Amino acid sequence: MDTNIPRTVPRKSATFDDYTLSEIRRAATTGIYDIRGAGAKRKLPHFDDLLFLGASISRYPLEGYREKCGTDVVLGTRFAKKPIELRIPITIAGMSFGSLSAQAKEALGRGASMAGTSTTTGDGGMTPEERGQSKHLVYQYLPSRYGMNPDDLRKADAIEVVVGQGAKPGGGGMLLGQKISDRVAQMRCLPKGIDQRSACRHPDWTGPDDLEIKIHELREITSWEKPIYVKVGGTRPYYDVALAVKSGADVVVLDGMQGGTAATQEVFIEHVGIPTLACIRPAVKALQDLGMHRKVQLIISGGIRNGADVAKAMALGADAVAIGTAALVALGDNDPHLEEEYRALGTTAGAYDDWHEGRDPAGITTQDPDLAKRLDPVKAGRRLSNYLKVMTLEAQTVARACGKSHLHNLEPEDLCALTVEAAAMAGVPLAGTDWIPGRGGY
């Protein structure tokens, strides 16, 4: 070979990148799709593509360390006799005992209560630890009805009818046998060690007309006291929110595709649903068209990470947000100090998502008693509380800069977008222009 001829450097395909090649090899070897936890990992239009327009001559800012900026929110004001009053608009999303250890559930309750917000049960029912440590506990009412009973329903502070979630709208769930301990099996009325499927459809209602009757039943059983939430995954937010309102929801929870799950197929997580950013404006428009904005509260979730995200979601019209993955990270999930153990599992800190396998070295997404006891619920709860408080302070910082005395006073006019895509999805102008793609005829 003539070594004097210039050669091109090796070039990898953008289409068949290293990850894609590894997935093809994995699939060819195992014959089964990849299952993992967490939400969409691909890059998506997100809150980072929005910026706040701080006050200047045309707007007055509020003094950062002196003037009040309210953060409280009341959820369930439409029909419930006892709405939930929270100090901050950042709630903890539903995550099941089964997918999470009892220690992790307790820590979530402790952290949320310290910060003045709510936490939420998940598939598998309510544990006494969770109820005991949660000042405000939302009880999820799921298709599987695992662990569902009227006593716990009445112990809850609100009820969340789960229709879908952002990571897998249209999909059910699967808790693999290795996480089915005696206690989990007992709560779900199933044998130990078998894969426990969670249905994708409710067993006794289909469609909005039935859902309205189901909500009526739940209200009767709880004497019309508890707020009823309806949670949907982000797909057709305008219609889903409108139908949830029609069905009688007090609160709509809308979860974008960055929202996490305990376990489902990678193809589902990455290819079904729409980004959180794309969900909010259609949802708010549905509420506005029905004259129900601020009367039926809207909780947005899926990829909320910091106070800026909180403020942006609220500026776009949300009443509150919910966090799941970020809360687990605050507890200690994917922490670099466990790097050696993550490597032993074939991954690295920050990328660990095999939550369904139950081998979480942080003791969070596991039912292994030795691993679970690594998590101190008191210390982990404190970390979560700290994190929630920081997010709140950050959101207040931004709101004051925009001249707002309450987070709910933030509005779309406080925002601009960095990309055409984000401008179109959020319905705010591209930075430096007055152009909102899709509006004004072009």
Partner 1 sequence: MNELDLKALGVTGINQRLYKVPKDSNERHWVITNPMGQHAIACGLDGPLQVDIKGHVGFYCGGMNKEAEIIIHGHAGVGVAENMMSGVVWIKGNASESAGATGNGGLLVIDGDASSRCGISMKGIDIVVGGSVGHMSAFMAQRGNLVVCGDAGDALGDSIYEARLYVKGKVAGLGADCIEKEMKSEHLEDLARLLERAKRKDKPSDFRRYGSARKLYNFNVDHADAY
Report angle CA 360, 366, 368 to the nearest 5 degrees.
100
Nearest to partner 1 of 184, 318 (CB atom): 184
Nearer to partner 1, 30 or 56 (CB): 30
**31 forms part of the interface with partner 1 (CB under 8 A):** yes
| CB 183, min distance to partner 1, A | 16
Tokens coding 189: 């009325």
Q: Does residue 195 touch partner 1 according to CB under 8 A?
A: yes
Regarding 20 and contact with partner 1 (CB under 8 A), the answer is no
CB 111, CB 381: distance < 8 Å: yes
Q: How near is the Cβ of 420 to partner 1 at its closest, in Å?
A: 42
- Alpha-carbon 264 to chain mean position: 15
The DSSP line for 333-352 is TT-GGGHHHHHHTT--TTT-
CB closer to partner 1, 186 vs 433? 186
SS3 string, 262-307, reads: CCEEHHHHHHCCCCHHHHHHHHHHHHHHCCCECCEEEEEECCCCCH
Per CB under 8 A, the segment of 96-104, 215-223, 246-254, 312-320 that binds partner 1 is 215-223
Footprint (CB under 8 A) of partner 1, residues 122-151: 144-145, 148-150
How many residues interact with partner 1 (rule CB under 8 A)? 34
User: What stretches of 177-333 adopt beta strand conformation (E)?
Assistant: 196-198, 228-233, 251-255, 264-265, 297-301, 320-323
The residues pairing with 50 across neighbouring beta strands, listed in sequence order, are 417
- Closest distance of CB 248 from partner 1, Å: 12
Q: Could you say whether residue 289 binds partner 1 (CB under 8 A)?
A: no
Q: Where are the alpha helices (DSSP H) in 31-135?
A: 102-115, 128-133
Does residue 207 touch partner 1 according to CB under 8 A? no
Taking the complex as a whole, the smallest distance from the CB of residue 217 to partner 1 amounts, in Å, to 4
Structure tokens at 314: 């609220």
* Contact predicate 317/298, CB 8 Å: yes
User: Is residue 194 close enough to count as binding partner 1 by CB under 8 A?
Assistant: yes
Answer yes or no whether residue 420 interacts with partner 1 by CB under 8 A: no
Binding site for partner 1 (CB under 8 A): 30-32, 144-145, 148-150, 153, 174, 176-177, 188-191, 193-195, 197, 199, 203-205, 210, 213-214, 216-217, 220-224
